[in-house]
């Protein structure tokens, strides 16, 4: 029996069901709670008294719980009778526990205060409620609440302490997330299983079906999650960078994956040279380009990233020299409401710029080591850029891992030093030309953080003689 003398609302907590690794018994979570209810004698007054009893603090207010219910008397309920659930401090036979508003309404014969058996069951409580009721108290220091959802797959990364409860945790997650059909647990680090940033996993609930479909950045992606890299927690980072690209610019996405940067950028009229070494990612990238009607803007490649950095710049220049740097877009369909005499607009011709505006390098474990490939990127093409032309050298956005601290000062300095070593020049923190702006992206472990370092490619690197 729960002691509600200190906290009357504690009666609405789920039953404690400690079971170390046992099967989930949902029936154990059914709980009958005796409370009081205000019988509304004329259903036309339900809204009126709901508002008044909420103001007087008589009304029961719980997340996910409707406090307007059928009357507990079955005969009255069959005629449409309603009642309002009252908080546990209000007792049906003790008028001194009623507010003046409730007392006046009863005296006016518009409300009656009656007993009500409130039944809460497994379906009512959320994941956190259920899991804290099941796990032993000594295992609740850091409840496993974080998981990624990729299409219909929920992806766990459980600490060793919680492995004895992994099936319970997975079942509850599947129960409480309608879109989830399969729950998996990662059993090694990303990249351990394959150079393509995939990982080994075990299926805890559902079928081993990793073919998922998701929407992000107004684009649809379909892929086999077991064969490609995808991280739903990077959605904000994807949007942040894509928002910084301008229509008509060229972006080189060196480690494009299935296209979470490339396809949304293409949607806004950015030209993207998108590459990934993984053949499965490349296949899914091509599918996303076709599926989202981006063939005019996003070009897929399956090559080594080191070589692709220079190839993309050279390939773009070759289009200009061969007069292949224009594309013709079909006219937009005429509005249904436009007069029949309205002429179709002419096709639109767009010229692809000869130089790249941004490089994206989202391979945080090793992307900085790819930076030597920028040496000599535009060797012999200095007159394409300032001060000879109104173009700037590309911005480079390189993702990386470092330690974590409250202010990131130590990490920023360390990242700048690593970038400088790879480029062969001094790179200092800052947001001006010749400086590196380091942004925090997300924490990936208790002592590990992901960053994005953005800088304009130094001229001394870009115009260096190619080796």
| pLDDT tens digit at each of 467 positions of the chain | 444 455 778 899 999 887 655 678 899 999 999 999 999 999 999 999 999 999 999 999 999 999 999 999 999 999 999 999 999 999 999 999 999 999 999 999 999 999 999 999 999 999 999 988 888 876 666 777 778 899 999 999 888 888 888 999 999 999 999 999 999 999 877 655 567 778 889 999 999 999 999 999 999 999 999 999 999 899 999 999 999 999 999 999 999 999 999 999 999 999 999 999 999 999 999 999 999 999 999 999 999 999 999 999 999 999 988 888 999 888 777 667 767 667 777 888 999 999 999 999 999 999 999 999 999 999 999 999 999 999 999 999 999 999 999 999 999 999 999 999 999 999 999 988 889 999 999 998 889 999 999 999 999 999 999 87
Q: Going by C-beta distance under 8 Å and a sequence separation of 6 or more, which residues neighbour residue 176?
A: 126, 127, 130
Tell me, what's the pLDDT at 345? 76
On whether the CB atoms of residues 257 and 228 are closer than 8 A, the answer is: yes
Q: Please tell me the distance from the alpha carbon of residue 31 to that of residue 176, in angstroms, as a whole number.
A: 18
Q: Is 408 labeled as ligand-binding?
A: no
CATH number of 136-214: 3.30.300.110
| Candidate CATH numbers 1.10.287, 3.30.420, 3.90.75, 3.30.70; the one for domain 31-120 | 3.30.70
On whether the CB atoms of residues 288 and 263 are closer than 8 A, the answer is: yes
DSSP three-state, residue 334: coil
Q: Is 112 labeled as ligand-binding?
A: no
Q: Is 304 labeled as ligand-binding?
A: yes
Q: Please tell me the distance from the alpha carbon of residue 320 to that of residue 347, in angstroms, as a whole number.
A: 21
Whole-structure pTM value: 0.85
Instruction: Give me the sign of the Cα torsion angle 106, 109, 110, 116.
Output: positive
Q: Which residues of 238-257 are buried (b: 16+ CB within 10 A; e: fewer)?
A: beebbeebeeebbbbbbbbb
- Pair of tokens at residue 113: 């205060």
Tell me, what's the pLDDT at 281? 97
Q: Is 253 labeled as ligand-binding?
A: no
Tell me, what's the pLDDT at 2? 47
Q: Please tell me the distance from the alpha carbon of residue 42 to that of residue 226, in angstroms, as a whole number.
A: 60
CA atoms within 13 A on the CB side of 41: 9
Long-range contacts of 210-214 (CB under 8 A, 24+ apart): 210/153, 210/182, 212/150, 212/151, 212/152, 212/153, 213/151, 214/150, 214/151
Token pair 């049906």 is found at 92
On whether the CB atoms of residues 231 and 148 are closer than 8 A, the answer is: yes
Q: Going by C-beta distance under 8 Å and a sequence separation of 6 or more, which residues neighbour residue 463?
A: 376, 378, 379, 382
H-helix segments, 248-301: 262-267, 279-291
Q: Looking at the chain, which residues constitute the CATH 3.40.50.150 domain(s)?
A: 229-330+345-462
Q: Looking at the chain, which residues constitute the CATH 3.30.70 domain(s)?
A: 31-120
Cα–Cα nearest to 454, from 376, 359, 375, 384: 359
- Pair of tokens at residue 443: 């924490």
DSSP three-state, residue 445: strand
Q: Please tell me the distance from the alpha carbon of residue 201 to that of residue 267, in angstroms, as a whole number.
A: 33
| Percent of the chain as helix, strand, coil, to the nearest 5 | 30, 25, 45
DSSP three-state, residue 303: coil
Task: Label residue 424 left, alpha or beta by phi (over 0 means left) and psi (-120 to 50 means alpha).
Answer: left
| Candidate CATH numbers 3.30.230.70, 3.30.1520.10, 3.40.50.150, 3.90.180.10; the one for domain 229-330+345-462 | 3.40.50.150
H/E stretch holding 180 reads none
Q: Is 211 labeled as ligand-binding?
A: no
Tell me, what's the pLDDT at 190? 62
Cα–Cα nearest to 87, from 95, 97, 77: 97
Instruction: Give me the sign of the Cα torsion angle 443, 445, 447, 452.
Output: negative
H-helix segments, 60-215: 74-78, 100-107, 127-134, 166-176
Task: Label residue 173 left, alpha or beta by phi (over 0 means left) and psi (-120 to 50 means alpha).
Answer: alpha
- Pair of tokens at residue 1: 């029996």
Tell me, what's the pLDDT at 329? 86
Q: Is 238 labeled as ligand-binding?
A: yes
């Amino acid at each position: 029996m729960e002691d509600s003398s200190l906290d009357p609302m504690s009666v609405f907590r789920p039953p404690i069901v400690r079971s170390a690794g046992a099967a989930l018994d949902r029936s154990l979570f059914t709980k009958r709670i005796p409370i009081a209810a205000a019988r509304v004698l004329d259903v036309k007054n339900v809204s009126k008294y709901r508002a008044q009893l909420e103001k007087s603090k008589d009304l029961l207010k719980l997340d996910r719980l409707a406090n307007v219910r059928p009357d507990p008397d079955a005969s009255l309920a069959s005629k449409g009778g309603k009642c309002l659930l009252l908080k546990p401090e209000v007792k049906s036979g003790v008028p001194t526990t009623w507010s003046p508003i409730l007392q006046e309404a009863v005296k006016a014969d518009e409300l009656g205060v009656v007993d009500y058996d409130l039944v809460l069951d497994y379906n009512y409580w959320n994941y956190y409620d259920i899991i804290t009721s099941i796990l032993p108290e000594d295992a609740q220091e850091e409840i496993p609440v974080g998981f990624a959802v990729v299409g219909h797959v929920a992806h766990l990364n459980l600490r060793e302490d919680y492995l004895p409860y992994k099936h319970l945790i997975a079942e509850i997650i599947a129960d409480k997330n309608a879109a989830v059909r399969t729950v998996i647990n990662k059993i090694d680090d990303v990249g351990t299983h394959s150079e393509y940033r995939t990982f080994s996993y075990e299926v805890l609930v559902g079928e081993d079906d990793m073919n998922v479909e998701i929407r992000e950045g107004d684009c649809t992606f379909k892929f086999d999650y077991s064969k490609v890299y995808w991280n739903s927690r990077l959605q904000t980072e994807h949007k942040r960078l894509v928002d910084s690209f301008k229509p008509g610019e060229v972006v080189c996405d060196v480690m494009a994956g299935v296209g979470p940067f490339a396809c949304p950028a293409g949607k806004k009229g950015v030209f993207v040279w998108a590459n990934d070494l993984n053949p499965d990612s490349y296949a899914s990238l091509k599918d996303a380009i076709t599926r989202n009607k981006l063939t005019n803007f996003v070009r897929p490649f399956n090559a080594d990233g080191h070589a692709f950095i220079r190839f993309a710049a050279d390939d773009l220049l070759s289009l200009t020299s061969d007069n292949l740097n224009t594309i013709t877009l079909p006219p937009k369909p005429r509005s249904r409401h436009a007069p029949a005499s309205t002429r179709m607009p002419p096709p639109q011709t767009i010229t692809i710029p000869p130089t790249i505006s941004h490089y994206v390098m989202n391979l945080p474990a090793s992307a900085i080591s790819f930076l030597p490939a920028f040496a000599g990127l535009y060797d012999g093409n200095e007159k394409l850029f300032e001060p000879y032309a109104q173009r700037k050298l590309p911005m480079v956005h390189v993702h990386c891992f470092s330690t974590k601290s409250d202010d990131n000062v130590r990490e920023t300095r360390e990242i700048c030093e690593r970038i400088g070593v790879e480029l062969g020049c001094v790179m200092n923190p800052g947001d001006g030309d010749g400086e590196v702006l380091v942004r925090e992206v997300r924490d990936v472990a208790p002592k590990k953080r992901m960053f994005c370092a953005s800088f304009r490619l130094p001229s001394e690197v870009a115009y260096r003689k190619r080796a």
